[in-house]
């Protein structure tokens, strides 16, 4: 597979000189500063940065949940405003509707009503491995299972781009690894462009074709790293470690902490 | 004693744990039922010993006699029915308007502003304060009574409906935005379902307020009803009958609340 090849076609999503600031009582808080980023069709791109660096805000701007103060978002070369059905999003919390079963939560995602609905919902329950839990209420599901439901809900319209805002951050280490494998499987089978925001460097290396490191507030693109490791990736391989080392060096560029300490 | 605890020991411990839990439950039930029984016994004893002024304080036995007499004559059933119909009618009108106004206020901030002052001034007025006015406007028969009860029932329903709708999780609304849902769908599929818990609380509180309103509403111009029974017994100086009326209101009130709480629990299995 040539998933890692640098695509030459027009980017599916282009973030052009996006800046954003919030007003906190009297102070102006600059969150993003002139972020420019191209995301290729079918790419798995991760954005990492320290907490509060504006990476989630950047993702929310891509989703259309927030507007950029300056700059624009181009989807297939056209400026977009607001949310779009072609761009899905998964949040850190599953955000399921507690009064609906897993099946009905997934069905809620459907954009265009059709006669195929039931089959579509069943397919997506199976896709995330929850066929046996179709009628369970969210409170009866574990955190990982809840997040699977929310992934199925987001995928049911076959979005071209899936934005993931620290989707596995609240899960335990083992479940997280399992979910990372699942998301790779879905990415491969659906050919969805994935944009992941995370603060987990290993997660970013394991999943991504491209890793974008944002600087501390205000967030600006500090470094873009292409991860050219073959898939499936071995988390403890020498190559994996060397990518990790490279990222750590960029991460702690201006800090006095010895990066070796973290390796 | 063997070196290794065997399974039977573990079971024995389980068993004794279970026993002590059952014992505790029995004690709790005894306290629950026993305390009112003891209270009644002491009360009866005080009456028999001449500690109480029997012309104004009845004993449990005379209240029971009154209950039997009213039940046999059929007046108890008639009065209860008369009150219950008023309460249900008043509650239906009050809760209906409460739901409507509360929902509009929850959905539209403009509506909430437009109604805030009027509702704010009306709310503190007690039900009984409205009775003379309502008799003047709607006559002395059923309507004035029903509307007084409605005015009591409206507030818990209105406030809880409005609060429930306002408290919708903004994170759920974001999910709907991402999935491109229109306003009607958001209202129907997210806002209303998430308001259901506080809406049911409002209805339950509204019904108990309505039930409490029967004394006030039947104070003037009634010829039947549990509230009427109390005023009528005062005129005839029959403290036992007055107590009977109060007991009926209290007992029915708590029974209704228990039933509604059960219903609430059943409807909110997802919480």
| DSSP symbols for chain A | --TTSPP-S--SEEEEEEEEEEEETTEEEEEEEEEEEEE-TT-EEEEE--TTSSHHHHHHHHHTSS--SEEEEEETTEE--S--TTEEEE-SS----TTS-HHHHHHHT-SS--TTHHHHHHHHHHHTT-GGGTT--GGGS-HHHHHHHHHHHHHTT--SEEEEESTTTTS-HHHHHHHHHHHHHHHHHHT-EEEEEES-HHHHHHH-SEEEEEPSSSB-EEEEEE----SS--TTSHHHHHHHHHHHHHHTTT-SS-GGGG-
CB < 8 Å from B in window 118-157 of A:
137-139, 153-154, 157
Q: Is B183 at the interface with chain A, CB within 8 A? A: no
Same domain, A67 and A186: yes
* Pairwise pLDDT comparison (A101 vs A259), residue with the higher score: A101
Same domain, A140 and A34: no
Question: Of the candidates A108, A141, A158, which is a domain's last residue?
Answer: A158
The pLDDT assigned to A255 comes to: 60
- State the CATH class of domain B60-267: mainly alpha
Q: What is the pLDDT of residues A132-144, one digit of tens each?
A: 999 999 999 999 9
Q: How confident is the model at residue B1 (pLDDT cuts 50, 70, 90)?
A: very low
Map out the domains of chain B as residue ranges.
Answer: 60-267
Give percent of chain B with pLDDT exceeding 70: 95
Is B2's pLDDT higher than 60?
A: no
Domain CATH for A243: 3.40.50.300
Q: What is the pLDDT of residues B71-104, one digit of tens each?
A: 999 999 999 999 999 999 999 999 999 999 999 9
Give percent of chain A with pLDDT exceeding 70: 93
The pLDDT assigned to B19 comes to: 87
CA-based nearest distance A97→chain B, Å: 7
Q: What is the pLDDT of residues A42-92, one digit of tens each?
A: 999 999 988 778 899 999 999 999 999 999 999 999 999 999 999 999 999
Q: Token pair of B2, please? A: 């063997």
The pLDDT assigned to A1 comes to: 43
Q: Is B196 at the interface with chain A, CB within 8 A? A: yes
Q: How confident is the model at residue B219 (pLDDT cuts 50, 70, 90)?
A: confident
Same domain, A144 and A23: no
| Vertex B118 angle, CA B113 and B122, to 5° | 135
Q: How confident is the model at residue B209 (pLDDT cuts 50, 70, 90)?
A: very high
The pLDDT assigned to B221 comes to: 83
- Asked if B178's CB is within 8 angstroms of A83's CB, the reply is yes
A8: in domain: no
Same domain, A255 and A175: yes
Find the CB nearest A109 among B171, B179, B269: B179
Phi-psi region of B76 (alpha: psi -120 to 50; beta: other; left: phi over 0): alpha
| Residue A85 with chain B: CB contacts under 8 Å | 179-180
- Asked if B193's CB is within 8 angstroms of A99's CB, the reply is yes
ipTM over 0.85: yes
The pLDDT assigned to B255 comes to: 93
The whole-number average pLDDT for the span A98-125 is 94
Same domain, A154 and A165: no
Same domain, A65 and A53: yes
Helix then strand then coil, in percent of chain B rounded to 5, is 80, 0, 20
Considering only alpha carbons, which residue of chain A is nearest residue B182?
A111
- Angstrom distance (rounded) from CA B85 to CA B145: 11
Question: Of the candidates A132, A158, A184, which is a domain's last residue?
Answer: A158
Q: Token pair of B187, please? A: 């209202």
Q: Token pair of B268, please? A: 């909110």
The whole-number average pLDDT for the span B37-62 is 93
Q: Is B270 at the interface with chain A, CB within 8 A? A: yes
Q: How confident is the model at residue A256 (pLDDT cuts 50, 70, 90)?
A: low
- Angstrom distance (rounded) from CA B257 to CA A144: 39
Q: How confident is the model at residue A3 (pLDDT cuts 50, 70, 90)?
A: very low
- Asked if B171's CB is within 8 angstroms of A91's CB, the reply is yes
- The pair phi, psi for residue A257, each rounded to 5°, is -75, 135
Same domain, A190 and A69: yes
CB < 8 Å from B in window 153-182 of A:
153-154, 157
Average pLDDT value for chain A = 90
SS3 state of residue B59: coil
SS3 state of residue B224: coil
- Asked if A111's CB is within 8 angstroms of B178's CB, the reply is no
Same domain, A130 and A224: no
State the residue range of the domain holding A64. 13-86+161-262
Question: Of the candidates A158, A180, A209, which is a domain's last residue?
Answer: A158
Q: Is B271 at the interface with chain A, CB within 8 A? A: yes
Q: What is the pLDDT of residues A162-220, one digit of tens each?
A: 999 999 998 999 999 999 999 999 999 999 999 999 989 999 999 999 999 998 878 88
Q: How far is CA A171 from CA A28, A34, A175, in A?
A: 34, 33, 6
Q: What is the pLDDT of residues A80-101, one digit of tens each?
A: 999 999 999 999 999 999 999 9
**Residue B138 neighbours by CB under 8 Å, 6+ apart:** B144, B147
CA-based nearest distance A1→chain B, Å: 31
Considering only alpha carbons, which residue of chain B is nearest residue A101?
B270
A65: in domain: yes
- Angstrom distance (rounded) from CA B153 to CA B214: 11
Q: Is A89 at the interface with chain B, CB within 8 A? A: yes
Mutation target vs B (from A81, A88, A93, A97; most B CBs, 10 A cutoff): A97
CA-based nearest distance B166→chain A, Å: 16
A56: in domain: yes
- Angstrom distance (rounded) from CA A162 to CA B145: 60
The pLDDT assigned to A242 comes to: 93
Do B244 and B67 contact (CB within 8 A), yes or no? yes
Same domain, A77 and A200: yes
Is A33's pLDDT higher than 50?
A: yes
Find the CB nearest B179 among A93, A111, A138: A111
Q: State how many domains chain A has.
A: 2
The whole-number average pLDDT for the span B41-58 is 92
Q: Token pair of A73, please? A: 């978002």
| Residue B194 with chain A: CB contacts under 8 Å | 97, 99
| Residue B190 with chain A: CB contacts under 8 Å | 97
Q: What is the pLDDT of residues B8-19, one digit of tens each?
A: 555 666 778 888
Same domain, A42 and A73: yes
Same domain, A168 and A253: yes
Give percent of chain B with pLDDT exceeding 90: 80
- Angstrom distance (rounded) from CA A124 to CA B176: 19
Strand pairing category for A70-75 and A13-24? antiparallel
- Closest C-alpha among B219, B225, B204, B112 to residue B160: B204
Same domain, A228 and A141: no
The pLDDT assigned to A260 comes to: 53
**Residue A214 neighbours by CB under 8 Å, 6+ apart:** A35, A47, A48, A49, A53, A54, A55, A58, A220, A221, A222
Q: How confident is the model at residue A2 (pLDDT cuts 50, 70, 90)?
A: very low
Which residues is A223 bridged to in the sheet? Answer: A213
Find the CB nearest A97 among B190, B269, B271: B190
Find the CB nearest B178 among A88, A98, A137: A88
Considering only alpha carbons, which residue of chain A is nearest residue B181?
A111
- Angstrom distance (rounded) from CA A194 to CA A207: 10
Do B189 and A108 contact (CB within 8 A), yes or no? yes
| Residue A87 with chain B: CB contacts under 8 Å | 178
The pLDDT assigned to B10 comes to: 58
Considering only alpha carbons, which residue of chain A is nearest residue B176?
A109
């Amino acid at each position: 597979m040539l998933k890692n090849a640098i695509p030459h076609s027009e980017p599916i999503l282009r973030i052009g000189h996006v800046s954003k600031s919030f007003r906190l009582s009297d102070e102006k808080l600059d969150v993003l500063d002139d972020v420019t980023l191209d995301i290729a069709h079918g790419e798995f791109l991760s954005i990492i940065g320290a907490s509060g660096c504006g990476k989630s805000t950047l993702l929310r701007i891509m989703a259309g949940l927030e507007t950029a103060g300056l700059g624009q978002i181009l989807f297939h070369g056209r400026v977009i405003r607001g949310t779009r059905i072609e761009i899905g999003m998964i949040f850190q919390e599953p955000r399921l509707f507690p009064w609906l079963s897993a099946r009905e939560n997934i069905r809620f995602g459907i954009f265009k009503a059709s006669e195929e609905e039931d089959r579509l919902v069943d397919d997506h329950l199976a896709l995330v491995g929850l066929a046996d839990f179709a009628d369970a209420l969210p409170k009866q599901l574990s955190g990982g299972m809840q997040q699977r439901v929310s992934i199925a809900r987001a995928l049911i319209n076959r979005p071209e781009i899936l934005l993931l805002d620290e989707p596995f951050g609240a899960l335990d280490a083992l479940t997280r690894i399992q979910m990372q494998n699942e998301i790779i499987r879905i990415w491969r089978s659906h050919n969805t462009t994935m944009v992941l925001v995370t603060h987990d460097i290993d997660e970013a290396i394991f999943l991504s074709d491209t890793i974008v490191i944002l600087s501390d507030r205000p967030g600006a693109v500090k470094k873009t790293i292409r991860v050219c490791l073959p898939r499936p990736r071995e988390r403890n391989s020498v190559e994996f470690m060397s990518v990790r080392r490279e990222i750590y060096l960029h991460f702690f560029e201006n800090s006095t902490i010895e990066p070796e300490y973290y390796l | 004693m063997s070196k290794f605890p065997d399974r039977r020991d573990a079971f024995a411990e389980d068993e004794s744990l279970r026993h002590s839990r059952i014992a505790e439950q029995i004690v709790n039930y005894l306290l629950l039922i026993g305390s009112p029984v003891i209270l009644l016994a002491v009360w009866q004893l005080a009456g028999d010993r001449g500690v109480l002024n029997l012309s104004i304080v009845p004993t449990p036995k005379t209240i029971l006699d009154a209950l039997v007499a009213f039940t046999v004559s059929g007046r108890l059933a008639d009065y209860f029915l008369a009150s219950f119909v008023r309460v249900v009618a008043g509650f239906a009108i009050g809760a209906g308007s409460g739901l409507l106004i509360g929902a509009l206020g929850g959905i539209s901030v403009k509506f909430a502003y437009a109604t805030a002052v009027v509702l704010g001034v009306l709310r503190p007025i007690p039900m009984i304060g409205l009775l003379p006015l309502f008799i003047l406007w709607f006559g002395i028969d059923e309507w004035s009574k029903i509307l007084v009860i409605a005015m009591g029932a409206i507030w818990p329903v209105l406030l809880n409906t409005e609060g429930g709708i306002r408290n919708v999780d903004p994170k759920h609304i974001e999910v709907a935005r991402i999935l491109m849902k229109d306003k009607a769908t958001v209202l129907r599929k997210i806002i209303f379902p998430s308001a259901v818990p506080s809406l049911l609380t409002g209805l339950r509180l509204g019904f108990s307020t309505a039930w409490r309103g029967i004394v006030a509403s039947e104070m003037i111009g009634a010829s039947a009803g549990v509230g009427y029974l109390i005023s009528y017994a005062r005129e005839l100086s029959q403290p036992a009958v007055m107590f009977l009326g109060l007991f009926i209101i209290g007992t029915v009130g708590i029974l209704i609340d228990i039933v509604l709480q059960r219903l609430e629990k059943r409807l909110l299995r997802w919480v």
